[in-house]
Amino acid sequence: MSIRVVIVDDEPLARLAVKVRLARRDGFTLVGKFGDGDSASEGIAALKPDLAFIDVEMPGKTGLAVLAALAPAHRPMAILLTAHDCFAVQAFQLAALDYLLKPVDDERLDEALDRACQAFPYRGQGRPFPLPAPKARTFSVRVGSRTVLVPVADVERIEADGDYATLHAQGKTWLVRERLHNLATQLDPRRFHRVHRSSIVRLDLIAELRPLTNRDALLRLRDGSVLRASRTYMPALAEALQHLNRNPQEAT
Amino acid sequence: MKVETPLLVPVLAALPVCACMAILGLPAFGHANAVAFRTLYFSACLAWLIPLALLQRAMWRRAWRWPGMALALLAASYGMSILNALLGQRLAISLGLETGYRWNELLRGLDSCWLALIAFCAVHAVAVYYLSLQSMQLQLAQAQAAARDAQLRALRLQVNPHFLFNSLNAISALVSAEANREANRMLGCLSDFLRATLAHDGRHEHSLAEELALLDAYLDIEKARLGERLRLTMKAGPDVLGSVVPYLMLQPLVENAIRHGIAPLAAPGRLDILVERAGAHLLVTVQNDGRPPAHGGSGIGLANVRERLRHLYGDDQQVDAGWTAEGRFRVCIALPMRHLEVAAAAAAAA
């Protein structure tokens, strides 16, 4: 069963950007496109889509107002799009599925669509969808002509390098020919967390989290490495860290 | 002296002079005639203070020299004292104490009135001189701060457009090669960096955490360009992220390290950034692989950083750059360790 999608954005090129990327993926059907808040309100009420890409700043009603005006039961899963970066808190209050900053890159959009696929079967049941079980126990890494198995438990963080990813495990780095977004689905979300477009970290290695004025944060890991956490991941990261504090045995 | 002072200044300057005159007049109380004379002299002096103050201000406005002004004021107040004495004789005649004016005694007994007027002029001059000196010092300090600010701003602006156009050029190349995914990724990185620089409020300094985040956003762009040819570590000690560093201090150094050090290498190159505390100083070390250039010269980036640090911290900073024995280029910066909260409190107090 395909996920029915509407796109709401006042700029035609912005709608095109989502449409083109959506067309590359199976399991999504575009059922409507709207250019302003008012027609989007009517359209969403009439079409009852499963998923809506919604621009925040639009003439007439804002994207947030469109969502807020719908009864929670009739609200589609929402992925908010914005060039501005100060709506994250409101977006999460409205239980938006994700929150993307423009220009949106493919990696980040794919991740949002993965979330939609995961959440879809549980939609409308009024509870958060269960986290998918981790699939991999080891990563196989090709080094020259041989293959090395790196246990997932040893991995400290993963960094994206375009179509490659670098695994940092016990002081060594391994280059894997796989995209970060695919690796992310193989990790236990209670132990690992995406903190940025280009990095995943093991939560128990975070030694310091320092908020920045632009609502991003800087993380310092136990080995002294510093990396950025993007504001679009911050609410989820804060929740995961709290969860880790309550159930420390899960991390060991 | 061209600085205008408020009219309240001569009024305040007159107060001590009037007080002295009143106190000197106290013993005359009870002697009806003496009180009348004292009151006359006092009111006359008070009235003369107004034209005298206006005259003094007019001379300041025309920037008279001190000797000329002193002579003019002495002459004016002398004339006023004679007129006072004349008024005194007129009072004596009307009280029936004298029968006519005594012209030969007119020049005697001027001392108290003349002295009072001279004392007023002196107090007025000192007060105005002090006030204008203060406001001139303030203006000077403001002008110096503005000049320093403009210089720092200019130095900072050298940094930005340079790599902005380099990045746009790289994206344009990716689009031409139809490497859509990479082009998009790079646009994302560039937007991140622009967002981070736009969030900046124009201060010359910010926390190390902000600086490293900005650097990380910049490095994402370089990683997109160089891929696995760039091996990177960025580490910080446990107690340094809140310390204050100049805005965009690291980016030009790292840009140099990549452009002149790692990018020309055929093999992957390492870039190591380390920030740690050494007593009262913050040590920032940037090391990169590379080949020493045939000709010397450390480039505009390093000169820019040196200049900005000198402007901000005077002699309490140090920049060392050079090739290490292992054949890596190393820049080491030491600057005073200050925490953001402390710096903000100091700025508020100043």
Radius of gyration over every alpha carbon of chain A, rounded to an integer in angstroms: 19
Q: Any idea which residue has 């204050």 for tokens?
A: B244
Query: Closest to A228 (Cβ–Cβ): which among B188, B216, B224?
Result: B216
DSSP code for B200: -
What pLDDT is stored for residue A129 in this prediction? Answer: 54
Task: Given the cut 0.85, state whether the ipTM is greater than it.
Answer: no
Q: What is the DSSP letter of A225?
A: B
Beta-strand ranges (E) seen in chain B are 205-207, 230-236, 244-246, 269-278, 281-289, 318-323, 328-336
Does A33 touch chain B if contact means CB atoms closer than 8 Å? no
Name the A residues in 176-215 with CB < 8 Å from any B CB: 197-198, 207-208, 210, 212-214
Distances, alpha carbon A184 to alpha carbons A199, B180, B221, in Å: 10, 22, 22
Return the amino acid letter for A4: R
Helix or strand or coil: residue B12? helix
Mean pLDDT by 10 residues, chain B (350 residues): 72 84 76 80 86 88 87 90 85 81 73 83 89 86 73 63 77 86 86 78 84 90 83 92 89 86 88 94 94 66 82 88 91 91 63
Give the containing element (helix H, strand E) for B211.
helix B208-226
> What pLDDT score was predicted for residue A202?
93
pLDDT at position A6 is 96
Q: How far is A13 from chain B (nearest CA, A)?
A: 14
Model confidence pLDDT, tens digit, residues A71-104 = 888 889 999 988 766 676 677 777 788 888 888 8
Pairing mode of beta strands B269-278, B230-236 = parallel
Chain B positions touching A225 (Cβ under 8 A) are: 233-235
Core vs surface per residue B252-285: b (16+ CB within 10 A) or e: bbbbbbbbbbbeeeeeebebbbbbbeeeebbbbb
CB contact under 8 A, A224 and B217: no
Q: How far apart are CA B331 and CA B323, in angstroms?
A: 9
Radius of gyration of chain B (CA): 37
pLDDT tens for B34-45 read: 788 888 888 888
Q: How far apart are CA B171 and CA B177, in angstroms?
A: 10
Backbone CA torsion sign across A226, B247, B228, A188:
positive
Tell me the CA end-to-end span of chain A in Å, nearest whole number: 38
Q: Which residues of B touch A (CB under 8 A)?
A: 180-182, 184-185, 187-188, 191-192, 195-196, 199, 201, 206-207, 209-210, 212-213, 216-217, 220, 223-224, 227-228, 231, 233-238, 241-242
E strands in A28-103: 28-34, 51-55, 77-82, 98-101
Which of A175, A208, A223 shows the shortest C-beta gap to B241?
A208
* pLDDT of amino acid B286: 95
Identify the residue among A212, A219, A221, A227 best suited for mutation to test binding to B, counting B beta carbons within 10 A and taking the highest.
A212
Question: What is the side-by-side order of every strand in the sheet holding A28-34?
Answer: A28-34, A3-8, A51-55, A77-82, A98-101
Pick A103's closest partner by Cβ from B187, B224, B241.
Answer: B187
pTM of the model: 0.66
The confidence band for A251, taking pLDDT boundaries of 50, 70 and 90, is very low
| Residue B156: per-residue pLDDT | 63
- Alpha-carbon gap, residue A8 to A36, rounded angstroms: 7
| Per-window interface: A 66-125 vs B, CB < 8 A | 85, 101-108
* Cβ-defined contact of B235 to A104 (cutoff 8 Å): no
**Is pLDDT at A252 greater than 60 in this prediction?**
no
Work out how many CB contacts closer than 8 A connect A with B.
86
Kindly tell me if the per-residue pLDDT of A114 is higher than 70. yes
Q: Which of A198, A199, A227, A234 to mutate to test the interface with B (most CBs of B within 10 A)?
A: A198
Among B182, B212, B220, the residue with its CB nearest the CB of A218 is B212
CB pair distance less than 8 Å for A210 and B196? no
**In this predicted model, which residue has the larger pLDDT, A220 or A173?**
A220
Task: Inform me whether the pLDDT recorded for A7 exceeds 90.
Answer: yes
Average the pLDDT over each of A11-25, A118-132, A134-148, A197-211 and give the range with the smallest value: A118-132
Kind and range of the H or E element at A5? Answer: strand A3-8
Distance in Å, alpha carbon of B213 to nearest chain A alpha carbon: 6
Q: Report d(CA A165, CA A141) in Å as an integer.
A: 11
For residue A74, what are the contacts with CB-CB under 8 A and spacing of at least 6? A45, A48
High-pLDDT (> 90) share of chain A, %: 31
Which tops the pLDDT comparison, A214 or A64?
Answer: A64
* Partner-chain residue, chosen from A175, A212, A225, that has the shortest CB–CB distance to B209: A212
Mean pLDDT of A42-59: 91
Task: Tell me the C-alpha to C-alpha distance, in Å, between residue B326 and each of A1, B231, B258, B284, B291.
Answer: 61, 17, 18, 19, 11
pLDDT at position B273 is 96
